[in-house]
Amino acid sequence: MSSLQPTTQGLAADPGALNALKYGAAREGDGGKGALKEAAKQFESLFMRELIKSMRDATQKSGLLEGQGSDLGTDLLDQQLAVQLSGLPGGLSESIERQLSRQMNAAQAKAGTAADGSGNAAADASSANTASTASAGSAPEFKPLKRSDLRNLLKYAPAAPATGAQASAATDQTSAAARRALSPSQRHAAFVQQHHQSAATVARESGIPAGYMIGQAGHETGWGKSEIRMRDGTPSHNLFGIKATSSWKGKVAEVTTTEYINGVPRKTTARFRAYDSYADSFRDYARLITRSPRYDKAMDQIGSVNGFASSLQRAGYATDPQYAAKLSRAINMTLSLQRAQISAQN
């Protein structure tokens, strides 16, 4: 049995984690593969920490509840979330593990050739493969990955903390990086974390649970992968697919979308509302649901995920005949992620 404990189950601030990793690597009988896997998780955790930090920096703050104490608590929570989200199947750690394994195998093969002048065929083949990337007659140098290597590889971090109009661009840049680098489960968790503050504020004002709104926003946008964009490619910040009718006086994004006519999907061009921020999108959605008589029954079913989703579909929120079932799954997954994040915080 491996002597290493998965880092995803530990504390982010555990001072003994590195010593445990070194001790386990020395005792492992699998050539260090177990330690390599854990090291890859640690590197992914560093990436996740920077990703969450970029999201925090790109999010406008109210200033009412901000302070040194809240900043410390938020930082500790983000560190723990980074640990919890690392090492999941299909995540970045698997790619890092493969890269480290190739580098270690090349270094070990070269070392074996140096110890034995003739070497064996396997070592010679491995050395020959790696020699093409190094100067003639020189041994390939194994260098551990650094945090800067991850930044250069993934190109996800904004140059500096942004405010105002720059904050929207930075948030959009971070979302694009999440789409490329994260597994689906990690992308869902990052989406929930990104929009938690805006949704919680609107939830207190409207009575619509934050998890319901984030879940519907995730379903409508493919968890950030398919957001509605303006003609110039900038984000419309429309998280809920609300269309721009004749009464809408704000900005408009005109895009091609799929509508279901008599149960048959068809491509059509539609005009959607555009906002200055994601917070504005949450507020406009809440106004639509709470003030429009057609959604009164949805508000009456606010205590039931399935009831709320079914009422929205019956009221004509979307034309997809499977909308209620899809929305229910998205909301339930969001609620589970929220519980996991609260558990990590405690």
Active site residue ranges? 259, 284
Q: Which amino acid is at 110?
A: K
Q: How many CB atoms lie within 10 A of CB 193?
A: 22
Length of the chain: 346
Q: Is the dihedral of CA 233, 238, 239, 244 positive or negative?
A: negative
- Name the H helices within the chain: 17-27, 33-57, 68-84, 92-115, 121-131, 147-154, 165-181, 184-206, 210-221, 278-291, 296-300, 305-314, 323-345
**Residue 86 near residue 6, CB atoms below 8 Å:** no
Q: Is 13 exposed, middle or buried (0-12, 13-18, 19+ CB in 10 A)?
A: exposed
Q: Residue 30 in 3-state DSSP? A: coil
Q: How many CB atoms lie within 10 A of CB 229?
A: 17
**How far, in Å, CA of 289 to CA of 283, rounded?**
10
From the list 173, 170, 150, the residue with the least C-alpha distance to 160 is 170
**Residue 217 near residue 237, CB atoms below 8 Å:** no
